[in-house]
Amino acid sequence: MMNMANPSDDPVSLSHELVKDWFAALERIAGGEQLERFLEAAGVAPAMLARPGARIAGEQVIAFYQIAAIATGDEMMGLWSRPVRSGSLKLICRSVIGAPSMATALNRLAQVWNLLLDDYQLIFSEAGGQGVMTLAPRAADAPLNRFGQALMLKLAHGVASWLAGHEVPLAGLRLAFPRPSFAADYAVMFPLQPTFGGGPSAIAFTAQTLARPIMRKEGEVQAFLERAPRDWLFTTSMAHVLALRVRHFLYSGPSGFQAGLAETAEHLAMSHRSLARRLAAEGVSFQQIKDRLRRDAALRRLTRDHEKIDALALELGFAAAPVFHRCFRNWTGMTPAQYRRMAQASRGARAEEEAASRGARLAEGEPSRRAHAAGGPATIPPR
């Protein structure tokens, strides 16, 4: 049975559909072959993405972000019409670190971003005690990149959370596009349910957040940049979505994946009928939550570990290995063994490439990637 110390350990994954706009943007600026190299370097076999229902593990998403940003020299990786040059996020962090309040910091963040973006502008306003950051198009025909819109708002939330010293709650979140088929995935990125359409994308901060003092010092900027986006891309909040609280209990509770609806409901201090009814209102069932968690845990374990697949099936709560094989094929379009071979081959290729890169840098007299990164893209940690 698995145990999870905190929600950030959850083996989350994202639908390929959610990140497809991101990949398309990268392909436009770097080419198809380079995109495949980025994917393979992050441990993602490009062939996996052609499968129906393809998903990418959270750790692979983070690695891909870091690889693509440093390789392209564009910290937004082609998501906007003008490249966001290396060092931009460092400039933003340094502009907000000395603000007297969170409201001032968010206003400064918007002002700096507006020097960098052509097709959209960030507008920070205060009304009714809340602070609203709106991503407004500068022209009616501004391109609508769904991943880019979500990422920009998530970055604003991430910077605010870093300044506060903890993940801050949100009072609202609107995404400008119609509700997509992968809408459930936004629950692992933001600490509340988004609404879709009805205006430009926007994120609202509570009055309590606006009044918070800035907790960070200048000397902490580099550590934040080196870990990006690990500290802010995925939410650690469980309170905003009941389905996430159920998922957390299944992953960390005493019975693990063996827990049923009744035990979970008891843990959450409600009847099993009430739990089922409230989950249905969120558009999900208890079994769907369990199956999605099993899927994400399997993706992580098959990428990382070499344990026998039959043993993994039992650990994930399946009655028998053939049942796990059948479910995994439905999730990914391939068997667990096929997925493991493709994922671990990509990891091996990445390790070889990094070893060769280290050797080349040493031969050139460069002691480490940290020294190189100090003057380059600030969002990429040393490897």
Does residue 131 have a pLDDT over 80? yes
What pTM does this model have? 0.80
279/297 Cα distance (integer angstroms): 21
Tell me which CATH code domain 242-333 carries.
1.10.10.60
Contact 337, 308 (CB under 8 A): no
Per-residue pLDDT at 28: 96
> How distant, in Å, are the alpha carbons of 107, 168, 174, 208, 321 from that of 159?
12, 10, 19, 16, 44
- Interval 319-373: pLDDT, tens: 899 999 999 988 877 889 988 887 777 665 555 555 555 444 444 554 443 433 3
256/247 Cα distance (integer angstroms): 10
Per-residue pLDDT at 342: 78
Q: What is the mean pLDDT of the chain?
A: 86
Q: Looking at the chain, which residues constitute the CATH 1.10.10.60 domain(s)? A: 242-333
Helix H segments across the chain? 16-30, 32-41, 58-72, 88-96, 102-116, 146-164, 207-210, 221-227, 242-252, 261-267, 272-281, 286-304, 309-315, 321-332, 336-363, 369-374
Average pLDDT of the segment spanning 287-316: 89
Does residue 1 have a pLDDT over 70? no
Which is more confident, 87 or 1?
Answer: 87
Tokens 């959209």 belong to residue: 120
Q: Indicate the Cα dihedral angle 246, 178, 23, 331, nearest 10°.
A: 40
367/370 Cα distance (integer angstroms): 8
Q: What do you get for the CA distance between the two ends of the chain, in Å?
A: 31
